[in-house]
Chain A
Amino acid sequence: MTDTADLKKTPLYDAHVAAGARMVPFAGYLMPVQYAEGVLKEHLWTREHAGLFDVSHMGQARLRGVSPLSAFEEITPSDFIGLAPGKQRYSLLLNKKGGIIDDLMASRPDDDGLFVIVNGACKDGDFKFIDNELAPQVKIERLEDRALLALQGPEAAAVMAKHAPDSLTLVFSEARAMTAFGLPAFVSRSGYTGEDGYEISIPGESAQAVWDMLLADPRVKPIGLGARDSLRLEAGLPLYGHDIDETTSPIEADLSFAVSKKRRDAQDFPGASRIAKELAEGPSRVRVGLKILEGPPAREGAEIADGTGAVIGKVTSGGFAPSLGHPIAMGFVPPAHASVGTKLNVIVRGRAGAAEVVAMPFVPKRYVRKL
């Protein structure tokens, strides 16, 4: 058990406790897993209104240097040179075997370099890796004094309108420095719930004031990590350390969109030979979505079996889908069992429950791609 005394707190720790949060250790921080209403209601609130998440545990950094865009391509499969100012891209840090060190969001501010956001549990390792690989070409400036809030849901844009009018000029996957809440903010129209919404980077010392301003709006409620996880699961989005890790390639993980066409042609990224081979011949396993047709939720680690009872894979994340009213899961199976409609079984507590391969996302994404 982690000694809570060793855990860090985000600038919003006191705000969470005051709001009735249950705090748990997560990624080295004490974070709110849920508030008084509970995961189910928080999840549905986000799908119907606007949910406010403290994601300040995530790693924020600016990458600057002589040629940070081309340098960052050395450790990722993305086209960053072709990334226009004001645009954001989902990308992956890759090891030499084409395995995923972490997934990340990188955006190109109007000025120089990149603004990257990486997973909280991975951030120290990620920044060390980037430094080892790319220094002195690239200089990492960790933005540890900044908080990160996510406002997600169909009413997020209307809520943001009064605090950050410039945010309404963004569409999905755009990010810009702007004045928001009267502060120097960096705002992207993105998130990890499948909903329209924003991620807002602000000075840590102002986080409480921004948090209070947003919660003063009756359309906004604070949402914990529990619902964040069920929302991203319904959106079919992989979670690092669970659905993807250093052994998983982007192709196996159904993230081939993160391997840019230009880079596929050039084959100049870590693990390019494995990834090119998997693109050409197909990988030996692939991430699929499963609808659990009967029985209990199949959670991480549950075995997946075919109709004959042979174990063919494992669930990497799963649980109850509040928006759908039944359990869902993600897991890896051989391509022969990966077609939508394939009937499989998940083994939970020794018993086989019927499941079916379904298309992801489980719940349609509602990103705003055009104004």
Chain B
Amino acid sequence: MRFTKDHEWVVVEDGVATVGITAYAAEQLGDVVFVETPEVGKTVKQGEGFAVVESVKAASDVYAPVSGEVVEANTALGDEPETVNAAPEHGGWFAKVKLSNPAEVDALMDRGAYEDYLGTL
């Protein structure tokens, strides 16, 4: 699992990245009440907003941690947005992205580096 400074995580399997937000981000957001996942077929660029997560109080962008094509979205979050809080790094994933530039993943933080980064916040 790799991590961004914007608190997204990525797990790559066969050139496809599963993407979600970290437990830290889910805790900061508070109770998630609405999730907007990207449409399948959409091309995303690393760093651009590609999903939205809303808590009771506020809407927040989720930034694509990698570039590529969205091949699957976790539409179950439409009915059960609270999964993002309950299992942010498992069932609460947002989308699967077919990588167009696998090297982007290598530049992301590993868990140790991400935890060190959280310590600086």
Contacts and interface: CB of A to CB of B under 8 A. Distances in A.
Nearest to B30: A38
B56 A40 contact: yes
B59 A320 contact: no
Contacts of B59: 296-297, 299
A261 B33 CA distance: 43
A38 B31 contact: yes
Given A39-B31, A40-B31, A226-B30, A320 B36 contact: no
B72 interface: no
A41 B52 CA distance: 22
Interface in A255-301: 296-297, 299
Contacts of B54: 296-297, 320
B52 A39 contact: no
23 contacts: A33-B57, A38-B31, A40-B30, A40-B31, A40-B56, A43-B56, A227-B56, A230-B56, A296-B34, A296-B54, A296-B59, A297-B33, A297-B54, A297-B59, A319-B56, A319-B57, A320-B33, A320-B54, A322-B56, A327-B33, A327-B34, A349-B36, A349-B52
A34 interface: yes
A227 B30 CA distance: 12
B73 to A, nearest CB: 15
Contacts of A299: 58-59
Interface of A: 33-34, 38-41, 43, 226-227, 229-230, 296-297, 299, 319-320, 322, 327, 349
Nearest to B82: A40
- With most chain A CB atoms within 10 A of its CB, the pick from B36, B54, B55, B57 is B57
B56 A39 contact: yes
A155 B99 CA distance: 55
Interface size class of chain B, counting residues whose CB lies under 8 Å from the partner chain = 10 to 19
Given A297-B54, A297-B59, A320 B30 contact: no
Contacts of B56: 39-40, 43, 226-227, 230, 319-320, 322
Contacts of B52: 296, 349
A297 B59 CA distance: 9
B55 to A, nearest CB: 7
A41 B36 CA distance: 23
A66 B72 CA distance: 73
B95 to A, nearest CB: 17
B34 A39 contact: no
A229 B33 CA distance: 16
Contacts of A296: 34, 36, 52, 54, 59
A226 B57 contact: yes
Contacts of B31: 38-41
Interface in B16-62: 30-31, 33-34, 36, 52, 54-59
A39 B36 contact: no
Contact of A229 (B30, B36, B55, B57): B57
Contacts of B57: 33, 39, 226, 229-230, 319
Nearest to B28: A22
The 10 closest A-B pairs by CB, nearest first: A40-B31, A320-B33, A39-B56, A296-B34, A38-B30, A320-B56, A38-B31, A226-B57, A39-B30, A230-B56
Contacts of A43: 56
A227 B56 CA distance: 9
Interface in B54-91: 54-59
A34 B34 contact: no
A34 B36 CA distance: 24
A232 to B, nearest CB: 13
Given A39-B57, A230-B56, A297-B54, A34 B33 contact: no
